[in-house]
Amino acid sequence: MTTRTTDGTSDDAGPTGARTDFALDEAPSDFRSSVGQSLARMRGGDLGPLPALLAIAVLTTIFGLANPDSFLTALNLANFLEQASSVIVIAMAVSFALLLGEIDLAAGFTAGVSAAVLATRLEEWSLLPSALTAAAVAVALGLFTGFMVARVGIPSFVVTLANVLLFQGILLLLVREGGSVRIENGVVKDLVGSNLTPAASWVFVAGAIGLYGATLVRLRRASGGSGPLALLVLRLSLVTAGAIAVTFILNRNRAFPNAPAPIRGLPIVIPVVLALVVLLNLLLNRTRFGRHMYAVGGNAEAARRAGIDVARIRLAAFTLCGLMAGIGGAFLASRVNSVDPNTGANDTLLLAVGAAVIGGTSLFGGRGRMLNAVLGGFVLALIPNGLTLVGKRILPILGEIDFSSSGVKFICAGAALLIASSVDALSRRPGV
């Protein structure tokens, strides 16, 4: 008794009539109802990445108007993407802790220690063993945190607070006080700062768009062919247009007129960060492990009763957090081609947590995606980038203000974080 229903799916529910009993249970089949459903979800408190996208648009407009010659340039775009990359990767690390409703205050120092291991090993070893050692150390630090939280039962806030001191101490011992370790390895130096060739950029963009389109189509098939085709086409064409525009801009020479060599092509951080996002997304949304992480973050007791080994999930999450922080450390080191006692220190961790939260990942656990870290990282990197270019201005009432000063940058980043966490808290309150 297979019949075709209006949306083209086959009614194979059998004699129980499962499909007809859920007459309302159809994914929206036209564009308008799909948009309506998204709006309803937002009213229900699930704002997702919307605030971050809004913030990016607002900040870009403000800075674009404030310094039209310097902000909206190819050089600054590439520069901005590279500035954002390390925050984004460490924010992805912290996201693993946040998804469980936990925190890792020491992720910045995990990055620092791993970077220091990488830099010191590279003084004697070749790239592969050095990188593997650095990654192993990052995993070990994460495993240690996870053990303390999941097996010993200490709150993650306290464990990682102690870790801040522990890891900072290790970092100081590794690079020796006041010293710094230079990085000479070409591959590590190229990670942040070098570009794909223009031809490779186009190949990469074409491949990425093709993969994205294939994924959209596959997801639509998996949901029984439902969902409006118009929305799929709109999404794909928006992403395609954006990617082509960015590639076109970055493939032109962006060096200063009297520079010795042209600079062109997509910064290498773009494919690397994108690959990390796709990989971790797959892990979180398409595997049992990912599902169990969301379950533990949402209701640990329910997860335990469902037979999930909650302690093991916590241990694994902190281990992954450590590994990702270690990769973030490579980004930090590559940006300045050296490691010193301040690598991963100062505001690194605050920016990472801030990026995840601004992107829409909840501090209360169970809600968030890896893409949030990217969007939030963009917001937090836009603020110092734009403010530096604004520089000294004379304002009507306040008089002269140096927007490029650290004071103004901290205040703006702090305000952005506060606004984002207010949105998170308010959206969780029923009836708001």
Partner 1 sequence: MTESTPLFEAVGINKTFGSVHVLHDVDFAVYPGTVTALIGDNGAGKSTLVKTMAGIHPPDSGSFRFDGSVVDIDGPRDAAALGIEVVYQDLALCENLDVVQNLYLGRELTVRGMLDERSMERAARETLASLGVRTLQSVRQLVQALSGGQRQTVAIAKAVLWNSHVVILDEPTAALGVAQTEHVLALVRRLAETGLGVVLISHNMVDVLQVADRISPMYLGRIVADLPVTPDTTTEQLVELITSGRSNGTEHGEVVR
By CB under 8 A, name the binding residues for partner 1: 13-14, 16-19, 21-22, 24-25, 27, 44, 46, 222-224, 285-288, 291-292, 294-295, 297-299, 301-303, 305-308, 366-367
Q: Are 380 and 416 in contact (CB under 8 A)?
A: yes
Q: Which of 284, 295, 366 shows the shortest CA–CA distance to 45?
A: 366
Q: Please identify, using beta-carbon distances, which residue of 306 and 418 lies nearer to partner 1.
A: 306
Q: Are 274 and 92 in contact (CB under 8 A)?
A: no
State the Cα–Cα distance between residues 359 and 146, nearest whole angstrom.
25
* Distance in Å, CB of 41 to partner 1, minimum: 9
State the Cα–Cα distance between residues 186 and 426, nearest whole angstrom.
47
State the Cα–Cα distance between residues 115 and 325, nearest whole angstrom.
10
Q: Please identify, using beta-carbon distances, which residue of 13 and 232 lies nearer to partner 1.
A: 13
Q: Please identify, using beta-carbon distances, which residue of 24 and 152 lies nearer to partner 1.
A: 24
* Distance in Å, CB of 413 to partner 1, minimum: 28
Q: Please identify, using beta-carbon distances, which residue of 99 and 277 lies nearer to partner 1.
A: 99
Q: Are 294 and 95 in contact (CB under 8 A)?
A: no
* Distance in Å, CB of 12 to partner 1, minimum: 8
Q: In this structure, how many other beta carbons lie within 10 angstroms of the beta carbon of residue 33? A: 13
* Distance in Å, CB of 306 to partner 1, minimum: 3
Q: Could you tell me which residues are beta bridge partners of residue 393?
A: 401
Q: Please identify, using beta-carbon distances, which residue of 265 and 297 lies nearer to partner 1.
A: 297
3 state SS of 10: strand
* Distance in Å, CB of 257 to partner 1, minimum: 51
Q: Which of 315, 327, 314 shows the shortest CA–CA distance to 90?
A: 327
Q: Please identify, using beta-carbon distances, which residue of 5 and 223 lies nearer to partner 1.
A: 223
Backbone dihedral angles phi then psi of residue 326, each to the nearest 5 degrees:
-60, -40
Q: Please identify, using beta-carbon distances, which residue of 345 and 363 lies nearer to partner 1.
A: 363
Spacing of C-alpha 103 from chain mean position: 16
* Distance in Å, CB of 102 to partner 1, minimum: 15
Q: Please identify, using beta-carbon distances, which residue of 65 and 302 lies nearer to partner 1.
A: 302
β-bridge pairing 181-182 and 338-339:
antiparallel
| Local structure of residue 61 (DSSP, 8 states) | H
* Distance in Å, CB of 285 to partner 1, minimum: 8
Q: Are 14 and 36 in contact (CB under 8 A)?
A: no
* Distance in Å, CB of 271 to partner 1, minimum: 23
